[in-house]
Amino acid sequence: MRTKTVDGWQRKDHFRLSVMKTMKNLRQARPGMIFGMILLTGLVLIHLHLHLRQDSSQASENTVSGYLPGTVRDDQIFQCDRSQWRTDICNLRGDVQLEICNGTKAFVLYANQAVETTQLVRKETTKPYSRKWEEDSMSSVNEVTLLRMPALSLAAQATRRPCDVRHKVPGIVFSTAGYTGNLYHEFNDGIIPLFITSQHLRREAVLIISSFHNWWYSKYREVIEQITKYEIIDLERDERVHCFPEIETGLHIHGELSIDANRMPLKEGIQEFRDMLNRAYKPGPEDEHKIRARLKNKINPRLTIIVRQGTRKLLNLDDVIHLAERIGFKVHLLTPDPTMELKKIFWLLNNTDVLLGVHGAAMTHFLFMRPGSVFIQIVPLGTDWAANEYFGEPVSKLGLKYMPYKIQPDESSLSDIYNATDPVLVDPDRITQRGWGDLKKIYLEAQDVRPSLHRLRQVLQQAKQDCRPLSHENNTSRKSRFMKH
């Protein structure tokens, strides 16, 4: 299992850091310098825009925007959209076969005569994982080969094999390499983009997975069964010839743990994704019994604390537990473990009123909370941007109340190492501008936290007041016109 060493964090590229540094200097500049710095900031932003929109394709045909599978009615398509900075999308429609061609497993579109007269043969390669800008994660992702050749050519007649399996629905190709093994990336780079790409097909799609892991399928089996009703194809190991009417390689992605409903064919959003999870992890008899008992007894609001075992630990955990209990919470501890069933975690958090934890990948579990709950993220020094980008904004879109608790210098274990005036404590932006190495070493791997009980009391009291207690109405999935199969 390949796991990212730092939870829930993406590298800030040099362009983003340049903008941050320029804006900070602008705030401190003398009036006579402001015009020049505004001009410089504009140039940096333009450079960033051009960088993210850079088209890496060589053929003009590749500049067409990627389609969602099943949404194009043309008889024949072979195109790749390489204009997006997160992912490449390639669409093949027509007579498509997954087979061994010239010693390489490939998706081959056998073109009809109309295409043969214009372009005889075309080849593309792509890596179907949605972090294409990041070399570290993409280095473990296998390339997928796409070919087009004339159906009546001698080469096609010599190499083409008969279909072992003929599918009547589109195939969607993606990889579970990269940072699979890290919960944040499993959802952000995989499960949510898969929902975006396939949901309009109503389970009428075949999933073709590169770098397939049995443990991954076991972990997400209930979710995958909500996305497809067909057998999964292991791209590298399945030796059969599969024939498709349409293939898409790569997954569409809208942002960090988010779905833009305006870009979805049926306007599904993150709430509909959460409804899908609710159906996938529908409660068993034991869960139903616990829910009924809680509703009947009207017990105190439930606070779940995510306990980290490595870096960014909560040093005064026992004191925080006692404080929460005095305020009136029933406290549960969640120590995420790769062997834990997601269904059990889902129902623990579905029945939780307030979730509290230190910034990290495990905070991705907020997706299991019901709208109206409260999410308290303890934000260590130097992680403000990541905490808001990866969790703060997505939490609010799901309908949760977001309450960040920002660690002060004297609440960080770094205060035991650095003096009170050191930039590490008083000016984290200055340190993070040095680059990913210092940020990772200092703020992510060498920092624990000890939040002030006085400050935290105020946050917990507000959370208790703001949370919407569990009820029959908000415990059941919303009746949605989107999710009927």
pLDDT in tens, 106-115: 999 998 765 5
Helix, strand, coil % over all residues of the chain, rounded to 5: 40, 20, 40
**Side chain identity at 315, as an amino acid letter?**
L
Based on the domain organization, do 21 and 70 belong to the same domain?
no
Name which of 22, 20, 141, 138 is nearest 85 in CA terms. 138
In a domain, 106, yes or no: yes
In a domain, 3, yes or no: no
Query: Is this structure's pTM higher than 0.95?
Result: no
pLDDT at 359: 97
CATH of the domain at 443: 3.40.50
In a domain, 260, yes or no: no
Task: Please say if the pLDDT value at position 286 is more than 60.
Answer: yes
Based on the domain organization, do 235 and 293 belong to the same domain?
no
Based on the domain organization, do 318 and 450 belong to the same domain?
yes
d(CA 247, CA 148) in angstroms, rounded, equals 13
pLDDT at 374: 98
* DSSP bridge partners of 330: 302
Of 185-194, 239-248, 405-414, 432-441, the range with the lowest mean pLDDT is 432-441
Based on the domain organization, do 35 and 95 belong to the same domain?
no
d(CA 452, CA 12) in angstroms, rounded, equals 30
Domain count across the chain: 3
Based on the domain organization, do 342 and 205 belong to the same domain?
no
Based on the domain organization, do 96 and 137 belong to the same domain?
yes
**Side chain identity at 294, as an amino acid letter?**
R
Based on the domain organization, do 43 and 160 belong to the same domain?
no
In a domain, 268, yes or no: no
Q: What are the pLDDT digits (tens) for 219-248?
A: 999 999 999 999 999 999 999 999 999 999
Task: Please say if the pLDDT value at position 31 is more than 70.
Answer: no
Based on the domain organization, do 359 and 228 belong to the same domain?
no
In a domain, 280, yes or no: no
Percent residues over pLDDT 90 in the chain: 68
Contact between 439 and 30 (Cβ < 8 Å): no
Based on the domain organization, do 311 and 174 belong to the same domain?
no
The arithmetic mean of pLDDT across residues 286-314, rounded, is 79
pLDDT at 35: 44
Contact between 390 and 367 (Cβ < 8 Å): no
The arithmetic mean of pLDDT across residues 337-364, rounded, is 94
Based on the domain organization, do 230 and 294 belong to the same domain?
no
In a domain, 261, yes or no: no
The two structure tokens encoding residue 157: 């007649």
Task: Please say if the pLDDT value at position 386 is more than 70.
Answer: yes
d(CA 283, CA 378) in angstroms, rounded, equals 30
Which residue has tokens 């303890």? 378
In a domain, 396, yes or no: yes
Bridge-based pairing of strands 89-101 and 242-249 is antiparallel
Domain with 176 in it: 60-253
d(CA 274, CA 225) in angstroms, rounded, equals 15
Of 151-165, 349-363, 367-381, the range with the lowest mean pLDDT is 151-165
Based on the domain organization, do 290 and 398 belong to the same domain?
yes
* DSSP bridge partners of 414: none
Task: Please say if the pLDDT value at position 8 is more than 80.
Answer: no
Based on the domain organization, do 95 and 145 belong to the same domain?
yes
Q: What are the pLDDT digits (tens) for 58-70?
A: 333 333 457 899 8
In a domain, 164, yes or no: yes
Please enumerate in sequence order all residues whose Cβ is within 8 A of that of 415, keeping only pairs 6 or more positions apart, or say none.
409, 425
Name which of 402, 399, 397 is nearest 377 in CA terms. 402
